[in-house]
Chain A
Amino acid sequence: MVRKIDTVTVEVVRNLLMSIAEETYGIIVRSAYSTNMKERRDVCTAVIDPDGNSVAQVESLAALLGSMLSVVPNIYEKFGRENVKPGDMFIANDPYHGGGNHLPDVVIAAPAFAGDKLVGWIANIAHHSDIGGKVPGSTSGDADSIFQEGLRIPVIRIREGGQLLDSVMDLLLDNTRVPQEREGDLTAQMSANLIGVQRIQEAYARYGDVLIGCMDELVTYSERRVRAVVSTLPDGEYCYTDYVDGCGDKYPDPLPIQVKVTIAGDDLTVDFTGTASQIKAPINVPYPCTKAAVFFSVKALMGDDIPANEGINRAIRIIAPKGCIVNPTEPSPIGAQIDCQQRIPDAIFGALASVFPDRVVTAGNGACTTTILAGDGAIGTDSVFIFHEVIAGGSGASLRYDGLSGVQVNMTNTSNMPIEATEMEFTKILARRYELMEDTGGPGELRGGLGIQRELEVLQDDVLYTGLGDRHRFHPWGLAGGKEGASGAFYRVSAADGSIAKMGHKTTSLPLRKGDVIRVITPGAGGYGSPKRRPAEKVLQDVMEKKVSIQAAREEYGVVIRSDGGHLEIDWPATQELR
């Protein structure tokens, strides 16, 4: 492959472009209004080349990559490249018309011009807490079309000639339950882009067309890196089928995610033929999100240091039949797509477990367990509050390591809401418990990570609860003799009579009474290798840390632990007998 720019300059420019992406990311996180952005950091930013290829993006979370990879080509397709002018800024959220993920994720992109020459783009995407639709927080567990999921924004201008288009802003703010928060967040996103545009212009002033040549080379470089790894792998077809729990009462049956990964020379194909058909429930994965999930899986396996850009995509061929759940057609609902998207890396890892024995991890919590609480109560000039959080779980074990407990896996990596930040802002919510959940990590020589139990009490009547999750039925699988991890579950503890009711994994807008407690348990992760081979001392340590119960130590690991007035020790003879 002939390179236009020398390797040294490319490295220098890569540093510069990452610095620009990170600066704009910092602006959004530090100045945004909604907890999704400021605390949970559900934000991604990227520098994009003049042809629309993503070149440098921050490694915040992978779920938002889809938009970054597709937004500028979508703008070109709709408006024509020649009609993009200095001072323009574009906004979108509808994956069927130029956006990328689900409707709460709003992407805003701005072209950078040097004179009248387009020299690059800066784009960011962030999760907004409410964009209208049938439920507060927009994401329901039971929407049957995208029209119920909020305001659809096809790719349109939000700034033109350097001026905000007030009528567009007015339309947006009129379609959310929390307009003050929306305005603050959109301002942060646009301001970050204005700074980003300026930085790209400065970079062009410094490097001229070499800058654009380097962008091109960076994309080629990533493609080369992926192909270099693929070419070392044994040719063949590798298959795996994993399952999504279903979706609510209407779709109680498991939904297969079937992948066939074909390796031939340095070509890599991921084929989803055989995967479930799209459904009229909100877990359809728009195609850009499917691309993002494949992108994530390939980068994690082929080389975590490969620069995240369009080049990785170029090294991959994806086959996803139109109308299947990972390439749905309009107007299929998509609000909770991530619960299904999370299963794509699980399936790809399952398929390639034999190819990357030292890199693949067992199935982790594989969900994006979400709690939304909404009710009356002023915050600032908004008259209702919408609390939205995602709770982590276990991550997969592997050949050399136990899984991690209480972490985000696969496509998401957002922070938790600090309890003190939550209660200071949402004064009608009280956290009762936030701990790891014993025995949720799949037993194995290397133990799967543990899920979390989180209990929130509501302190007023008529708070609406929405709980979205997955792997409540299909447990996270283990490898090489390791056992599966525990599933997740949602419970409501009623203040009225103390009764505990199990709820579905797609609970939507359930009214709560004052004093009710929502108890969320997130899935653990599968184990790796036979639990009987786990050193007894490690099992003892697990028991001391309340990760494994004394009972499970005996039954799953064959390790007998005696408790003598609080002091724990291994009963070696009894253990030897069981092992």
Chain B
Amino acid sequence: MSYMIGVDVGGTFTDFSVFNQETGELFHYKDSSTPADPSQAIVKGIQDVLKIKQASPEEVTYLAHGTTVGTNALIEKKGVRLGLITTKGFKDLMEIGTQRRPSLYNLRAQKPYPLIPSGLNRTVTERIRYDGSIETPLDEEETRQVVRELKEQGVDAIAVCTLFSFMNPIHELRIEEIIREEFPGAYVTLSSKLAPEFREYSRMSTTVMNSYLGPVMEQYVNHFRTSIEEIGIRVEPYVTQSNGSIISIKETIDCPIKTALSGPSAGVIAAAFIGKQCDADKIITFDMGGTSADISLIENYTPQVSNEREVEGYPARIPMINIITIGAGGGSIARIDDGGALKVGPKSAGASPGPACYMRGGEEPCVTDANIVLGKLNQKKILGGRMDVDIELARRAIQERICDHSGLDLKRAANGIITVVNSNMVRAIRSVSVEKGYDVREFSLMAFGGAGPLHACEVAQELGMREVLIPPHPGTLCSLGLLLADTKFDLSRTKVMRGAPENLEAINEQFAQMVEQGTALLDKEGVPAERRSFTFFVDMRYQRQNFEISIPVASGTLTPETLDRALASFHAEHKRSYGYCKEEAEVQFVSYRVSTVGIIDKPNLLPVPLQPEAAPPQAIEVRQVLFQGQEDYVETPVYQRESFVPGQSIPGPCICEQMDTTLVVPGGWTIYVDGYHNLKIHNDEVI
């Protein structure tokens, strides 16, 4: 037998998705995480899985894992001591940032935590101009001295980011050589290699974060590799990056920042895969857990990628799946503020004390408490029966903290909490869809995570969406995604020129260089030639604008015809995004991007036969449930997910419980179970 294993390490649980390539069986497993050394839980879990499957370690042919080691080191400020080398005259770029204060009105808001220790932001005499010409040559003796001083200061890593190095990296490369000579043990990141694009602050902060994480990640992945070798696994493990793809251990060590936002990205990859099973090419993903909700948009089965995002207050200029995270989850706390408004989140009760109903001393009403009072969640036991809850405590918290301060009665208060938290979700979904020029009503909402399916139909209703999709195991979508990822390197270059036929040669030269670079990277990853694919993009703008739109182009060898087509796509995309375009205006090409993909084998899941005539599922109980927009509780059947048979339709209103989540289906919606056990829930009455 041969097994593919995907492992997603979360704060509480480590999830495993295991696919048997010969039988086609997909299996999920879950165990507690070991935050001090995440690899412990992985190793133990793999051993458990192999035992259950009576398989030997050699039969594991693929192993990928998503790690939060980088993310956590940034959040907990546990990176290494590092120094920065930049251009003389510009030592404080990291502290000044954009010069905007963090909050317009909150006079006490602070800047992000400084990653570079006091005085280790150093400068060297050198200057490159905007066109790549050398204005002042690098002072090599001074550089040598600076490196020696940083070494004496006990740094483990050095970040190098000089002005216009993206146009001409010669000084950064020379600085690296000098570091190698003077301080061979240092971990070094060059901005011109990591993120060769303009805007010095975001390039520098990406470089600094990468060096800050480098040695931490190096230690972790090396330890991880040794641990799995010790239990007899023979394959090289992969690590997920924030663009939803997987990379080798070697690449992870070089570019740890690429993993920093990888947490939710694998789930989006899996969502795109499930979308394909469901023939849904336009999807909004909605992953809601205990403290937050992650939202993204998928079009043509392809997640949207953005090229910059903030991490812990610093811009990170790396390609990543565009996911919006908001502080709205089951543990989000509801309150009435001084002006009498009902607010929910972003403060969360977390797992401890947790919502009032958890009986762990929490007194503040949470979203989960409201769902229990409304009858949407099981009023005695949740998490598939593993956890007891007390509805009286939930009622009391809402009564004391909401009703007594607002004049709302208990059921209006509970329903209001859901309305408000849903409206936060609606706002986030609008920001990835409507605000980007997409008509959200054409999209399906795919809900996962512990709380996504609880809210999905009512959120969809509010947005005028007609279809909600629920995968078979909404709690393990991230580990499934790890079985579905490819190896991918997103390369980029910046060179501003007119998007016109006379520049075709120069444009194609940019692409050719990156194809060469990408080929070398895939060589290193051992991807065979027939499994490589390259896709090409140009970031364009009208001359004088500063924000570009990334437009896919046909190939890396543009012709006058394909150039015209690319320009036409730009005008159309500009109109969609901003409501207008100027077809007569000059278009500038700014950055060139190549996605270099190495295609990895994926599970081939087959549908089971449909049995529309099978006996309808039996309700395990009938519960009083109060839905959004309703005045009164209605009798609602509660089913177990296991009892649904592919090919069946089940009308709402109903509740469907399973181990990792609860699905709430209001009246007017109908569930259809497809051959992959996905639930497609439709409402044709939504306007």
Contact = CB atoms under 8 A, between A and B. Distances in A.
B219 interface: no
A392 interface: yes
A415 B100 contact: yes
A158 to B, nearest CB: 15
B427 interface: yes
A184 B579 contact: no
Contacts of A405: 92, 95-96
Contacts of B578: 27, 30-31, 188, 191-192, 195
A409 B104 CA distance: 8
Contacts of A187: 580, 582
Contacts of A188: 578
Contact of B105 (A11, A19, A27, A304): A304
Interface in A441-495: 452, 455
A225 B111 contact: no
A225 B342 contact: no
Contacts of B577: 27, 30-31
Contact of A228 (B92, B104, B338, B431): B338
Interface string A217-242: 00001101100110000000000000
Contacts of A33: 542, 544-545
B599 to A, nearest CB: 34
B130 A427 contact: yes
B129 interface: yes
Given A31-B545, A304-B105, A419-B163, A401 B110 contact: yes
Determine the main DSSP class of B at the interface with A.
loop
A480 to B, nearest CB: 16
Contact of A8 (B110, B131, B338, B342): B342
Contacts of A59: 104-105
A95 interface: no
A194 to B, nearest CB: 6
A549 interface: no
Interface in B575-622: 577-580, 582, 586
A38 B99 CA distance: 15
Contacts of B201: 418
Given A15-B424, A420-B164, A544-B118, A380 B543 contact: yes
Contacts of B423: 11-12, 15-16
B362 to A, nearest CB: 23
Given A7-B406, A300-B107, A228 B339 contact: yes
A105 interface: no
B89 A434 contact: yes
Interface in B75-96: 89-93, 95-96
B119 A434 contact: no
B396 interface: no
Contacts of A544: 118-119
A7 B408 contact: yes
A419 B105 CA distance: 27
A404 B97 CA distance: 12
A30 B540 CA distance: 12
A114 interface: no
Question: How many A residues are at the interface, by size bracket?
Answer: 35 or more
B163 A420 contact: yes
B467 interface: no
Interface string A429-449: 011111110000000000000
B90 A401 contact: no
A392 B424 contact: no
A281 interface: no
Given A22-B431, A435-B92, A225 B98 contact: no
A545 B544 CA distance: 38
Contacts of A61: 104
A404 B96 CA distance: 9
A351 to B, nearest CB: 15
Given A15-B427, A26-B435, A407 B129 contact: no
Contacts of A7: 336, 340-342, 406, 408, 416
B351 interface: no
B121 to A, nearest CB: 8
Contacts of B107: 300, 304, 359-361, 395-396, 398
- Which of the listed residues A18, A180, A430, A435 has the most CB atoms from chain B within 10 Å of its own CB? A435
Given A11-B342, A420-B164, A541-B118, A432 B101 contact: no
A32 interface: yes
Contact of B546 (A35, A401, A404): A35
A579 to B, nearest CB: 22
B545 A32 contact: yes
A418 B164 CA distance: 11
A406 B105 contact: no
B135 interface: yes
Interface in A401-422: 401, 404-409, 413-416, 418-421
Given A19-B435, A22-B435, A435-B90, A184 B99 contact: no
B534 interface: no
B434 A23 contact: yes
Contact of B100 (A11, A398, A413, A419): A413
A413 B338 contact: no
- Which of the listed residues B341, B415, B431 has the most CB atoms from chain A within 10 Å of its own CB? B341
A423 B96 contact: no
A421 B590 CA distance: 12
B504 interface: no
Given A11-B423, A180-B544, A406 B95 contact: yes
A177 to B, nearest CB: 15
A10 B547 contact: no
B679 to A, nearest CB: 27
A246 B108 CA distance: 30
B199 interface: yes
Given A181-B544, A413-B100, A404 B580 contact: no
A3 B580 CA distance: 41
26 contacts: A3-B340, A7-B341, A12-B419, A23-B431, A30-B547, A30-B578, A31-B542, A60-B104, A61-B104, A180-B544, A199-B434, A221-B341, A228-B339, A229-B338, A299-B105, A304-B103, A305-B337, A380-B543, A404-B101, A405-B95, A408-B101, A409-B101, A414-B99, A423-B164, A424-B130, A435-B90
Interface of B: 89-93, 95-101, 103-108, 110-111, 118-119, 129-131, 135, 149, 163-164, 166, 198-201, 336-343, 406, 408, 412, 415-416, 419-420, 423-424, 426-427, 430-431, 434-435, 496, 542-547, 574, 577-580, 582, 586
Given A304-B103, A423-B164, 9 more contacts: A19-B431, A26-B435, A27-B579, A62-B104, A304-B107, A404-B111, A413-B101, A427-B130, A435-B90
